[in-house]
Amino acid sequence: AQKITQTQPGMFVQEKEAVTLDCTYDTSDPSYGLFWYKQPSSGEMIFLIYQGSYDQQNATEGRYSLNFQKARKSANLVISASQLGDSAMYFCAMREGSGGTSYGKLTFGQGTILTVHP
């Protein structure tokens, strides 16, 4: 089974509007972390936001917020006030466990291409 599922291959949004990128995950480990990264065409993965499995509140970082629904195993990224520079590939990723060999291993989804129209 896929550990990270991003069901939207592509999304379009008008500039200044909000957009939600979907991510569902699958793990039996009670301790895990969820990450969102942005990858422009240049290739570099840019960290956006992190949510820990024990965090009580949804994470927010500027225009980015994470809609964390633990029971549904979803961690959707919400981008408010979209900008043209937000056009890129977006990846959801998960790290299972809290120590040892889990530190480095991120499992990524297939990604969603976001296009922001003027």
Partner 1 sequence: ETGVTQSPTHLIKTRGQQVTLRCSSQSGHNTVSWYQQALGQGPQFIFQYYREEENGRGNFPPRFSGLQFPNYSSELNVNALELDDSALYLCASSLVVGTGMETQYFGPGTRLLVL
- Of the pair 14, 47, the CB lying nearest partner 1 is at 47
CB of 11 to partner 1, least distance (A): 16
Give residue 94's identity as a one-letter amino acid code.
M
Where along the sequence are the contacts to partner 1 (CB under 8 A)?
4, 31, 33, 35, 37, 42-47, 50, 52, 91, 93, 95, 97-111
Residue placing its CB nearer to partner 1 in the complex, 5 or 74: 5
By beta-carbon proximity to partner 1, the closer residue of 93 and 116 is 93
Largest CA distance in the chain: 46
Q: Supply the minimum distance, in Å, between the C-beta of residue 9 and partner 1.
A: 10
Amino acid at 6: Q
Is the Cβ–Cβ distance between 64 and 36 less than 8 Å? yes
